[in-house]
């Protein structure tokens, strides 16, 4: 690109690529810097679009943003499929949340009543109703609930589609690392570098390790369950995400560690919980065990908006457990900021300023 770009995005994960796509569609000249697109947290992610099943006590502002982004997913998915000319495993069967033992169910019910109190769509189900929906569930599963609006997508295929859409819209991928913000020459720089954002910006983004397994149904048949299953099994929390091509993603540990080693203990616990809930999974092939690093933040919510002290730099990072579901709303809000200079009120609880004590009124304007 001969002229100075309007926008440089640092990081070609789903968030960075979606911002690049949307900005390019708005007629901006966009470059995306990443030595290995799609090799970060999204490579390991299961792709749950789960504003309900992933809503936790004390995170109601984050839950609001998850719900907002989940509501944008159907349109985002349709537009992306059209723009990329490819599908990416977007499925809308909903999520079943289940408890294996009486204790598991009691723990889960506390969370479900908190979620219902927030007005989230969740319907308790008796064991017989659960098995009507998913006959493959273990007979000893004590009870559950359905979150019909919690969907799924395949993050690896999503990255492929977003990259195609961004490039078709005119964005250019530059396959190299960015060591310092000063190395980037653009009118606006968007830091969407996941855990790498900490070194670039000084923002408090820390790695939170997640170990994830991938199973495959024998003969590449579709798995014998259709819903995403969010389960509690003898005190273990596990999720099971079935794909049409026979893959089942089993996740995930949540560890305050920065290595990506796969440990025998984690594999054991994940498999035991998975097979306790869906016994047929014992017959599946174990095809992958991997670990990724979620970009965690002190309040578990993303960091979105102008970086104080750095005119023209926007943060779009810290998505922690929610990068895939938050991709549409992040892309919309950051693109709006780039294109119009206007900050949507939705951004207010998530700005970098909440972590930068020295921010001043002047710095609240970003360009
Ligand atoms: N969103 C699921 C996870 O981070 O494990």
- Structure confidence at residue 358 (pLDDT): 52
- Structure confidence at residue 58 (pLDDT): 86
Does the CB atom of residue 167 touch ligand 1 within 6 A?
no
CB 162 within 8 A of CB 84: yes
Q: Does position 41 have pLDDT exceeding 90, yes or no?
A: yes
Q: What's the CATH number of domain 95-148+206-296, 3.10.560.10, 3.30.9.10, 3.40.50.720, 3.40.630.30?
A: 3.30.9.10
Does the CB atom of residue 246 touch ligand 1 within 6 A?
no
Ligand 1 atom at minimum distance from 54 CA: 1
pTM of the shown model: 0.95
- Structure confidence at residue 125 (pLDDT): 95
CB 210 within 8 A of CB 251: yes
3-state secondary structure at position 233: strand
Does the CB atom of residue 54 touch ligand 1 within 6 A?
yes
pLDDT digits (tens, 9 = 90+) for 146-160: 999 999 999 999 999
Per-residue pLDDT band for 281 (boundaries 50, 70, 90) equals very high
Asked if CATH classification 3.20.20.70 holds for the domain at 1-91+151-205+297-367, the reply, yes or no, is no
Does the CB atom of residue 65 touch ligand 1 within 6 A?
no
Q: Does position 366 have pLDDT exceeding 60, yes or no?
A: no
Among residues 272, 255, 256, 18, which one has the least CA distance to residue 153?
18
Ligand 1 atom 2: residue of nearest CA: 321
Does the CB atom of residue 163 touch ligand 1 within 6 A?
no
- Structure confidence at residue 360 (pLDDT): 45
State the DSSP code for 70.
H
Rounded CA gap, 363 and 366, in Å? 6
pLDDT digits (tens, 9 = 90+) for 50-82: 999 988 898 989 999 999 999 999 999 999 999
Q: 187 CA distance to ligand 1 centroid (A)?
A: 34
- Structure confidence at residue 317 (pLDDT): 98
Probe residue for ligand 1, chosen from 45, 66, 241 as the CB with the greatest number of ligand atoms within 8 Å: 45
| Sheet strands side by side (includes 303-306) | 172-174, 30-33, 7-10, 188-191, 313-317, 303-306
pLDDT digits (tens, 9 = 90+) for 155-204: 999 999 999 999 999 999 999 999 999 999 999 999 999 999 999 999 99
pLDDT digits (tens, 9 = 90+) for 92-114: 999 999 999 999 999 999 999 99
Q: What is the number of alpha carbons within 13 Å of residue 246 lying toward its C-beta? A: 11
Q: What is the number of alpha carbons within 13 Å of residue 75 lying toward its C-beta? A: 7
Between 277 and 58, where is the model more confident?
Answer: 277
CB 111 within 8 A of CB 57: yes
β-pairing, 228-233 with 95-99?
parallel
Does the CB atom of residue 150 touch ligand 1 within 6 A?
no
pLDDT digits (tens, 9 = 90+) for 306-364: 999 999 999 999 999 999 999 999 999 999 999 999 999 999 999 999 998 654 444 44
Ligand 1 atom 1: residue of nearest CA: 321
Where in the chain is CATH 3.50.50.60? 1-91+151-205+297-367
- Structure confidence at residue 1 (pLDDT): 55
Where in the chain is CATH 3.30.9.10? 95-148+206-296
């Amino acid at each position: 690109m001969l002229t100075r770009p309007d926008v440089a995005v640092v990081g070609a994960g789903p968030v960075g690529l979606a911002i690049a796509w949307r900005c390019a569609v708005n007629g901006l000249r966009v470059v995306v810097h990443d030595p290995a697109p799609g090799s970060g947290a999204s490579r390991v992610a299961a792709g749950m679009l789960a504003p309900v099943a992933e809503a936790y006590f004390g995170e109601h502002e984050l839950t609001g943003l998850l719900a907002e982004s989940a509501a944008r997913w159907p349109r985002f998915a349709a537009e992306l499929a059209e723009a990329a000319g490819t599908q990416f495993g977007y499925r809308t069967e909903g999520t079943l949340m289940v408890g294996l033992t009486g204790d598991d169910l009691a723990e889960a019910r506390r969370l479900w009543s908190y979620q219902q109190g927030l007005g989230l769509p969740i319907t308790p189900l008796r064991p017989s109703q659960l098995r009507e929906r998913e006959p493959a569930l273990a007979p000893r599963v004590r009870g559950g609930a359905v979150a019909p609006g919690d969907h799924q997508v395949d993050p690896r295929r999503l990255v492929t589609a977003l990259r195609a859409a961004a490039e078709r819209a005119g964005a250019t991928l530059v396959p190299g690392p960015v060591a310092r913000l000063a190395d980037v020459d653009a009118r606006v720089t968007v830091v969407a570098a996941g855990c790498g954002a900490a070194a670039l910006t000084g923002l408090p983004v820390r790695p939170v390790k997640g170990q994830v397994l991938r199973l495959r149904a024998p003969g590449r048949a579709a798995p014998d369950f259709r819903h995403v299953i969010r389960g509690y099994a003898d005190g273990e929390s596990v999720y099971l995400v079935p794909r049409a091509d026979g893959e089942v993603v089993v996740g995930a540990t949540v560890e305050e560690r920065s290595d990506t080693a796969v440990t025998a203990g984690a594999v054991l616990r994940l498999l035991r919980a998975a097979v306790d809930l869906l016994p047929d999974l014992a017959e599946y092939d174990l095809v992958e065990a991997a670990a990724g690093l979620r970009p965690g933040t002190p309040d578990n919510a993303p960091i979105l908006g102008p970086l104080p002290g750095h005119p023209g730099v926007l943060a779009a990072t810290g998505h922690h457990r929610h990068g895939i579901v938050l991709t549409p709303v992040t892309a919309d809000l950051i693109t709006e900021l780039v294109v119009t200079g206007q900050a949507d009120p939705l951004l207010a609880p998530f700005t970098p300023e909440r972590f930068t004590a020295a921010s001043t009124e002047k710095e609240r304007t970003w360009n």
